[in-house]
Amino acid sequence: MTDAAYNFAYLDEQTKRMIRRAILKGVAIPGYQVPFASREMPMPYGWGTGGVQVTAACLTPADTLKVIDQGADDTTNAVSIRRFFQRTAGVAATERTAEASVIQTRHRIPETPLTEGQILVYQVPIPEPLRFLEPRETETRRMHALEDYGLMHVKLYEDIARNGAISTAYAYPVKVEGRYVMDPSPVPKFDNPKLESPAIQLFGAGREQRIYAIPPYTRVVSLDFEDHPFEASKADHACDLCGAEESYLDEVITDDAGGRIFVCSDTDFCAGRRAGGHRGALAAEDVA
Amino acid sequence: MYVAVKGGEKAIDAAHDWLAKERRGDRAVAELSLAQIREQMSLAVNRVMAEGSLFDPDLAALAIKQARGDLIEAIFLIRAYRTTLPRLGASRPVDTGAMRCDRRISATFKDAPGGQVLGPTFDYTHRLAGLQTGGRGGRIRGRVPVCGDATDEAVPKPRITDILGRDGLIQDEPPGEAEPPDMTRAPMDYPAGRALRLQALTRGDEGFLLGMAYSTQRGYGRNHPFVGELRIGTVEVEMEVPELGEAVCVGELTLTECETVNQFAGSKIEPAQFTRGYGLVIGQTERKAISMALVDRALRWEELGEEDSGAPAQDAEFVLGHADNIQATGFLEHIKLPHYVDFQSELELVRRMRAEAAREAAE
Amino acid sequence: MRTEALTGGFADAPVEAAQVFRATLEALARPGRIATVGGAEAPAPVSGAAAVLLLTLCDHETPLFLAPGHDGPEVRDWVSFHTGAPLVGREEATFALGHWPALAPLGAYRIGTPDYPDRSVSLIVEMEALAARGARLTGPGIETEAFLSLPETEAFRRNNARFPLGWDCFFTCGQSLAALPRSTRVEEA
Report the CATH number that the domain containing residue A139 is assigned in CATH: 3.40.50.11310
Q: Which of A40, A43, A266 is the mutation pick for testing B, counting most B CBs within 10 A?
A: A40
Question: Which among A242, A243, A272, A280 is annotated as catalytic?
Answer: A242
Task: Please check whether residue A95 touches B, CB under 8 A.
Answer: no
As a whole-number percent, the residues of chain A with pLDDT over 70 amount to 97
Domain range list for chain C: 3-187
Question: Running along chain B, 363 residues long, what does each successive block of 10 average in pLDDT?
Answer: 62 92 95 97 98 97 97 97 86 93 93 90 88 76 60 74 90 87 92 96 98 96 91 95 88 96 77 92 97 97 90 97 96 93 91 89 88
Task: Concatenate the DSSP letters of all residues of B291-343 into one string.
Answer: HHHHHHHHHTTTTTT------GGG-HHHHHHH--HHHHHHHHHGGGS--HHHH
Q: Which long-range contacts link A91-95 to residues 24+ away (Cβ below 8 Å)?
A: A91/A59, A91/A61, A91/A63, A91/A64, A91/A65, A92/A63, A92/A64, A92/A65, A93/A64, A93/A65, A93/A66, A93/A67, A94/A64, A94/A65, A94/A66, A95/A66, A95/A267, A95/A268, A95/A271
Same domain, A175 and A246: no
Q: Quick one: DSSP state of residue C30?
A: S
Q: Is A270 one of the catalytic residues?
A: yes
Query: C24 in contact with A at a CB cutoff of 8 Å?
Result: yes
Contacts of B73 (CB under 8 A, 6+ apart): B67
**Residue of C10, C15, C25, C37 to mutate, testing the A interface (most A Cβ within 10 Å of its Cβ):** C25
Residues of B in contact with A70 (CB under 8 A): 338-341
Band of the pLDDT at A286, cuts 50, 70, 90?
A: very low
User: For the segment A31-53, what is each residue's pLDDT rounded down to a tens digit?
Assistant: 999 999 999 999 999 999 999 99
Q: How far is B6 from chain A (nearest CA, A)?
A: 6
Q: Is the domain of A183 the same as that of A265?
A: no
Confirm or reject contact between C59 and chain A (CB < 8 A): yes
Contact residues for B63 (Cβ-Cβ < 8 A; gap 6+): B48, B52, B74, B75, B77, B78
* Same-domain pairing of A240 and A217: no
Q: Please report, for residues A281, B274, B327, B338, B353, the alpha-carbon distance to residue A250 in angstroms, rounded to integers and kept in the order given.
A: 15, 63, 30, 11, 19
Q: Do A165 and A57 belong together in one domain?
A: yes
Select from C25, C62, C140 the Cβ nearest to the Cβ of A30.
C140
Per the domain annotation, does A2 fall within a domain? Answer: no
Same domain assignment for residues A254 and A142: no
ipTM above 0.90, yes or no: yes
pTM: 0.93
In a shared domain, residues A64 and A109? yes
A58 is catalytic: no
Domain C3-187 is found in CATH 3.40.50.11310: yes
| Residue at A287 is within a domain | no
For residues C45 and C35, give the distance between their C-alpha atoms in angstroms, rounded to a whole number: 20
Q: Let me know whether A158 and A191 are in one domain.
A: yes
Contact of C11 with chain A, judged by CB distance below 8 Å, is answered with: no
Query: What order do you get walking across the sheet with C146-148 strand by strand?
Result: C146-148, C135-138, C185-187
Give the start-to-end residue ranges of the domains of chain B: 10-82, 96-122+148-173+187-329
Same domain, A39 and A147: yes
Q: Are residues A174 and A36 in the same domain?
A: yes
Which residue in A163, A207, A252 is closest to B330 by CB distance? Answer: A207
Number of domains composing chain A: 2
Task: Mark whether A264 is an active-site residue.
Answer: yes
Between positions 94 and 153 of C, the ones with CB within 8 A of A are 94, 113-118, 120, 122, 139-143
Nearest CB partner across the interface for C22, out of A58, A177, A180: A58
A132 pLDDT higher than 70: yes
Q: Which pLDDT belongs to residue B223?
A: 82
Does residue C175 contact residue A40 with C-beta atoms inside 8 Å? no
Segment C125-129 shows an average pLDDT of: 98
Distances (CA, A) of A26 to A30, A205, C113: 6, 13, 15
Is any Cβ of chain C less than 8 angstroms from the Cβ of A6?
no
Q: Catalytic pick from A31, A51, A272, A280?
A: A31
The answer to whether the CB atoms of A217 and C143 lie below 8 A apart is: yes
A227 in a structural domain: no
Is A4 part of any domain? Answer: no
pLDDT above 90: residue C26: yes
Identify the active-site residue in A204, A206, A239, A243: A239
Residue of chain A whose alpha carbon sits nearest to that of B315: A136
Which residue range forms the structural domain that includes residue A242? 234-279
User: Are residues C103 and C96 in contact, defined by beta-carbon separation less than 8 angstroms?
Assistant: yes
